[in-house]
Amino acid sequence: MTELPSVHIVGAGIVGLAIAATLQTRGHQVTLIERNEPGSGASLGNASGIAWTDVAPLASPGVWRKAPGWLLDPLGPLSVRPSYAPSILPWMLRFLSASRPSAFKRSVSAIAALNADALPAWERLWRDTGTGGRLRAEGCLDVFDKPAEIARARAGWQLQRDHGIEVKELDARAIREMEPDLGPGVAGGAFLPGWAHLDDPHAMCLDLERVVRERGGQILRGDVVSVIGTDGEARLQMRDGPVIQADKVVIACGAWSRPLAASLGEDVPLDTERGYNITVPEPGVSFRRFIMLAGYGFVMSPIARGLRIGGMVEFAGLKAPPNWARVDALVSRARRIAPSLSVEGGERWMGFRPSLPDSLPVISRSRRAPQVYYAFGHAHHGLTQAATTGELVAGMISGNRREIDLVPYAVDRF
């Protein structure tokens, strides 16, 4: 029997960890290389949604009409920091191109294909690794405070129904019966019973890290600065000097993946959509379900450590300090629909979503180095799509055919 190749995975966020655990289940030796703590990037503090019912990309027809407002409202749901505007311009142009109706349709199909398998893939990963028990399958309430926004949301709900997703439109009274701590500001919305979330996204990372170690996987602390690919193997240049030889390499560095792909000569237009939240241990309100306020670009997620209120999209790159005024803006908007909300003792967080202009990840073999694979750019859906990505990458490495067509996620699509 020929020995399976060993795999070095750079980046131990939820995507790298899910890939590592899946490869181990299929008999590969794995090494994760992480420059900080495992699960300390975007996977640390996200909203915890297994958001498989979301099928619409951020780039949608008509989005360009809203673009000028993004520059003018620094605390709005989507904003560009003026100092970062020149850097993000090429990404924005691709984003606008991805919002054309034909491109939008392609992105919707590709997101839906990954998301349709998201929960079943997580269930397989939980079963194979014994890490289940964190799922809260309570559904999601899409809530609005203006009737005009409900009317605008209907096209999105129809798109979801077209993909077999159950969406029940509800009036304000029905919503408040389901979640009595929502206040009179609620005008109506919809319930998506299929949506699910985890009780703690960081704990999920730590569970997988533990399993990877217990099964003999190594987790090395180190900063990879470049990848050198040859036909038969790949080498990783570490910042502190050594070069690591590898049979196969997976780049899963989230928002920091671009320079590693560039070191192989592959220029991927990856940038970051920064997101903010606050997690409150005793919020003074209690919700059973995930609450989404799409009109304001944020969510309220009841997780094990309290209520997590957050979202927003800020284009300001990887280096600018957080603008915590965004969290204050989030909280005052949240109080419009949950007036008793208290944020005393809340912990603020900012994370870097890894985002491509067409809202699709790169899940692909490198075109320059056949031993290197990419798995990054999952934007708003990294937790949702991590287990599916693990299976897809494992399938590419072992040469198995997959039911999901990988062409939409190819590295050279731009």
CB of 23 to ligand FAD, least distance (A): 15
> CA nearest 64: which of 109, 101, 110, 111?
101
Dihedral sign from CA coordinates of 165, 58, 348, 340: negative
Tell me, by CB under 6 A, how many residues bind ligand FAD: 42
Q: Which of 121, 150, 253, 293 binds ligand FAD (CB under 6 A)?
A: 253
42 binds ligand FAD (CB under 6 A): yes
234 binds ligand FAD (CB under 6 A): no
Contact predicate 394/386, CB 8 Å: no
DSSP letter (8 states) at residue 315: E
CB of 384 to ligand FAD, least distance (A): 4
77 binds ligand FAD (CB under 6 A): no
333 binds ligand FAD (CB under 6 A): no
Nearest CB to ligand FAD, comparing residues 166 and 223: 223
Q: Report the distance separating Cα 6 and Cα 24, nearest Å.
A: 10
CB of 69 to ligand FAD, least distance (A): 21
Q: Report the distance separating Cα 330 and Cα 315, nearest Å.
A: 17
CB of 101 to ligand FAD, least distance (A): 26
Each residue 18-37 as x (binds ligand FAD by CB under 6 A) or -, in order, gives ---------------xxxx-
Instruction: Count Cβ neighbours within 10 Å for each residue of 250-261 and write b for 16 or more, e otherwise.
Output: bbbbbbbbbebb
> CA nearest 406: which of 360, 372, 371, 368?
360
Q: Which of 6, 29, 40, 237 binds ligand FAD (CB under 6 A)?
A: 40
The angle at the Cα of 300, spanning 271 to 342, to the nearest 5 degrees, equals: 120
Q: Report the distance separating Cα 380 and Cα 359, nearest Å.
A: 8
Nearest CB to ligand FAD, comparing residues 19 and 153: 19
Q: Report the distance separating Cα 69 and Cα 366, nearest Å.
A: 38
Nearest CB to ligand FAD, comparing residues 259 and 345: 259
Task: Enumerate residues 359-398 that contact ligand FAD by CB under 6 A.
Answer: 376, 378-384
297 binds ligand FAD (CB under 6 A): no
Which amino acid is residue 320, in one-letter code? A
List residues binding ligand FAD (CB under 6 A): 10-16, 33-36, 40-43, 46-49, 51, 223-224, 252-256, 275, 277, 310-311, 351, 353-354, 376, 378-384
